[in-house]
Amino acid sequence: MKYNDIVKSHPTVLVDFYADWCGPCKMMAPVFKELKTIMGEGLKIVKINTEKNQQLSAKINIRSIPTMILYKNGKIVWQQPGAMPLQALKDKINSFA
């Protein structure tokens, strides 16, 4: 499935650009798991490994990891590099509801 199709496949999609060796990326894994439990079907979370998807990462201009991009109805509404606590991330997503 192409990236554009993925971000249009659900009304709210959170994309996490990460790498396996990245410490902050590893810290975000349980945050994403808990976020999915809380938000359920209201949020689709997609993880993209920047090392396995270098062309896509360059095209989207990912300069640091983790970088999260939130899409609403296929359009970017928010983008931020770095790790975030669960509540801050949840509040940010809900602010675009």
CATH number, domain with residue 79: 3.40.30.10
Total structural domains in the chain? 1
Which residue of the set 25, 28, 43, 89 is catalytic?
25
Q: CA 42, CA 50: separation in Å to the nearest integer? A: 25
Which residue of the set 22, 62, 69, 93 is catalytic?
22
pLDDT in tens, the chain (97 residues): 799 999 999 999 999 999 999 999 999 999 999 999 999 999 999 999 999 999 999 999 999 999 999 999 999 999 999 999 999 999 999 999 7
Contact 13, 70 (CB under 8 A): yes
Q: Examine the residue annotation and report whether 25 is marked as an active-site residue of this protein.
A: yes
CA neighbor of 28 nearest in space, from 3, 65, 79, 62? 65
Domain span at 57: 3-94
